[in-house]
Amino acid sequence: MTKSSEAKAAKYAASDLSVKDVYRSVMDAIVDQRLLPGTRLNELAMCEAFKISRREMERVFARLTFEKMVRLVPNRGAFVASPDAREAREIFAARKTIEAGIVELAAARASGADFKALSKNMAEEDAHRRAGRMREAIKLSGQFHLLLSSIADNTILADQVRQLVARTSLVTSLYDNASEMVCWHDDHHKLIDHLRAHQTKRAVDLMRRHLDDLEESLDLDRSISKKTNLRAIFGLDAAKPESISKP
């Protein structure tokens, strides 16, 4: 960043948004697949959009880099992470191991209120799917797994699931084959039935098979968008649109 660029970014240091707010906004945009893998996150444009300082933006990038959602390239800047096929397989392998344990814990703890929350999530997901809003449906599908981890009541496992679900969003952005996604979301309904019936082994087996099916639906030949409008993504007002793009 040049001195003039630094000065331009610095004038936005007084902002109503905290570093945590900006982190959450960027994370949500990645998980919601509004910011696609490989997108260059122009630091100055981000500072201007959120009206925060360069130092604060670097803190946001540092946290996202630690969580494997962003990668920093020396002399080039920050980019939304683009997991390769091997990393994608490793993410699913980790999810199968961790979420099998989550299901076991949830089976022992799930109450009527928990089943109500899970059923509400599934109903909303189904409504979005019927309306053709696949991005929203996929987001709710990920939230279903987060709800299960909350029911399990183990904060360490829940944090792991949250990060893995977020990284799965990167994987499905790159490699998802929509034509293969017609049936696997029904597994959530079946999983609830197994949990209600205290059929823990069936629930665990179903979770593993569910993640297997999602992994097998990956299409490694899928291409990604090369340009993204920053202000449109974050819903920020501006007279002049600023873009962040993949070079």
Mean pLDDT over 72-77 rounds to 92
**Mean pLDDT of all residues in 147-160:** 96
- Is the pLDDT assigned to residue 243 strictly greater than 90? no
Question: In this prediction, what percent of the chain has a pLDDT beyond 90?
Answer: 63
Indicate if the pLDDT at residue 33 is higher than 50: yes
Model confidence at 13, in pLDDT bands (50, 70, 90)? very low
- Greater model confidence, 246 or 84: 84
Q: What is the mean pLDDT of the chain?
A: 84
> Is residue 241 pLDDT above 60, yes or no?
no
Residue burial 200-231, b: 16+ Cβ < 10 Å; e: rest: bebbbebbeebbeebbebbeeeeeeeeebebb
Residue 11 vs residue 36, higher pLDDT: 36
Give the pLDDT confidence score for residue 134 in this predicted structure.
80
Let me know how long the chain is.
247
138 — pLDDT class (breaks 50, 70, 90): confident
HEC readout, 166-227: HHHHHHHHHHECHHHCCCHHHHHHHHHHHHHCCCHHHHHHHHHHHHHHHHHCECCCCCCCCE
CB under 8 Å to 91, separation ≥6 — which residues?
83, 164, 167, 168, 171
- List the one residue out of 66, 74, 64, 71 whose CA is nearest residue 26: 64
C-alpha 161/C-alpha 145 separation (Å) is: 8
Mean pLDDT of 55-84: 95
Extract the tokens encoding 196: 């209600």
pLDDT confidence of residue 159 = 95
pLDDT (average), residues 169-182: 72
The distance in angstroms from the start CA to the end CA of the chain is 17
Beta bridge partners of 77: 73
| pLDDT tens sequence across 102-126 | 999 999 999 999 999 999 999 999 9
Q: What is the pLDDT of residue 247?
A: 39
Element (H, E) at 70: strand 70-73
* Strand-pair partners of 73: 77
Give the model's confidence band at 133: pLDDT under 50 very low, under 70 low, under 90 confident, else very high: confident
Q: Among all chains, which residue has been given the structure tokens 């030949």?
A: 221
The pLDDT score that the predictor gives to residue 132 is 87
pLDDT of amino acid 218:
86
Q: What Rg do the C-alpha atoms of the chain give, in angstroms? A: 20
Q: What is the pLDDT of residues 189-231, one digit of tens each?
A: 999 999 999 999 999 999 999 999 988 888 756 555 545 555 6
User: To the nearest whole percent, how much of the chain has pLDDT over 70?
Assistant: 79
The domains located in the chain, with CATH, are 3-82+224-245 (1.10.10.10), 85-216 (1.20.120.530)
Give how far the C-alpha of residue 16 lies from the chain's centroid of Cα atoms, to the nearest Å. 25
Calpha distance 10→54 (Å, rounded): 7
pLDDT of 172 strictly over 70 = yes
Q: What per-residue confidence (pLDDT) applies to 161?
A: 96
